[in-house]
Amino acid sequence: MPHHKPDWEAVLTEAGLRVTRQREIVFDAVGAGEGHTSVGEIYARAKRRDPSIRLSTIYRSLRVFAELGVVLTVPSGDGELLYEVRHASPHHHLICRLCGTQLPLANEIASNMVREVQRVHGFEVELDHLVLWGVCNACLSADVQSRHF
């Protein structure tokens, strides 16, 4: 696998950066949720542990984490970045544009797609984190219902 870095503290130390309490709070705040988390939510979680923490500290820490590859960034539907702790094994998501629901996408399904891309294009895909945007089943049914009334 291209990456396996659950030990973010070791990664920071290796890069010559200090593991500060504030960085620890920010990292924990990213990992506290399921899937991808917005900066606003990370800020809110971090503030619960350290009310004096500043938004600029959150942004700086996130940039460091993303550069070192211990945190993944995914563009949200509305141009914001979402953050997630990078996992050792491949994982994928389905995200609803309308309600923001995130569902796990089974690796077997993603692998099938990758095999097809390789077969058709002769292109070797490096797949460790796939995000598919769309409209979830609940929102689809709500939409269908609203069209009937």
Residues contributing to the site for Zn ion (CB under 5 A): 84, 96, 98-99, 101, 136, 139
Q: How far is CA 87 from CA 3, 71, 134, 135, in A?
A: 8, 9, 23, 25
Query: Which residue type does 56 have?
Result: S
Residue 35 gets the label, from left (phi > 0), alpha (psi -120 to 50) or beta, of left
Q: Which is nearer to Zn ion, 12 or 85 (CB)?
A: 85
| Shortest distance (Å) from residue 35 CB to Zn ion | 6
Q: Which is nearer to Zn ion, 110 or 136 (CB)?
A: 136
Start-to-end CA span in the chain (Å): 51
| Shortest distance (Å) from residue 72 CB to Zn ion | 6
| Shortest distance (Å) from residue 39 CB to Zn ion | 16
